[in-house]
Amino acid sequence: MGKYTDYVMKTAQDLLAVPSPSGFTHMAAEFVKKEFENLGYKPQITQKGAVLVKLGGKDDKNAVVLAAHMDTLGGMVCQIMDNGHLKLTNIGGMNPNNAEAENCKVYTKSGKVYDATFQLENASVHVNGEYSDTKRTYETMEAILDEPVKNKEDVKKLGIMTGDFVCFDPRTVVTESGYIKSRFLDDKFSTAILLGYAKYLKEKEIQTERTIYVLITSYEEVGHGGCAAIPDGVTEMISVDMGCVGKGLECDETMVQSALRTVWDHMITRWFPV
């Protein structure tokens, strides 16, 4: 188990470093596709940008899809201000309260990438007397480019325009005690788990009773695409995703941390006996 846990942790870190807000997942899709190929499978990228791969199994008429998603929350440039600052809109549920003072990157349609910081307008607490009382919204916050721009025309000369994707720093850390902390573990960690499961089946030369497909989708955070490209013969779809931690719920951070073991045990002993 340790070998595959190490693989999952390493793959998760590598995938977390690939920007992929919904609608901008092509780099993550190529990463996942290549990883499955390296394991000896024949994945395909679907018309909708998902990655679909058959892991094998005996019964094609009672097949199951294991689904996770590689798309994340993010932002998009919706306005270039006269002073050269950028107004953003959210992709998915990216909450501005959780992104204040965050490093981010603007990906232009020409392929150039620019660093920026997402922060409150008039961001200095020493200057802004309303700093603590100002509600953090996309109307009151802005992205400041790490470029010597003074106005809208300077920004446009860089090739930045409305509609460009803005990707936030995942800030991935693995602690000495083995905890992984990062933005966008939802759902890249589950994607890494499914890659680890595929590695396990291949190396152990296991053929499950039911045929298994893995579908890594690309639009989950905006609410569509999960049922696209389901192969013939599939009778069940199991989504591997995050569990919320909060008041009134049964989960806690330790239980989320043990998701790898839990999902793995269910896959091998209950869902797909060999």
What are the catalytic residues? 220
CA 193 to CA 6: how far, in whole Å? 11
Cis peptide before 187 (omega within 30 of 0): yes
**Are 65 and 213 within 8 A, CB to CB?**
yes
* DSSP letter, residue 98: G
- Taking a C-beta distance cutoff of 8 angstroms, is the pair 53, 214 a contact? yes
Neighbours of 58 (CB within 10 A): 11
For residue 259, which of 197, 170, 203 has the smallest C-alpha distance? 197
Residue 39, number of CB atoms within 10 A of its CB: 19
Which two tokens mark 247? Answer: 């008041």
Query: If 0-12 CB within 10 Å is exposed, 13-18 middle and 19+ buried, where does residue 40 land?
Result: exposed
Residue 95 and residue 181: Cα distance in Å, rounded? 18
* Rg for the chain, CA atoms, rounded: 21
Written as one letter, the residue type at 262 is: T
Burial annotation 92-115 (CB, 10 A radius, 16+ → b, else e) = bebebeebeebebbbbbeeeeebe
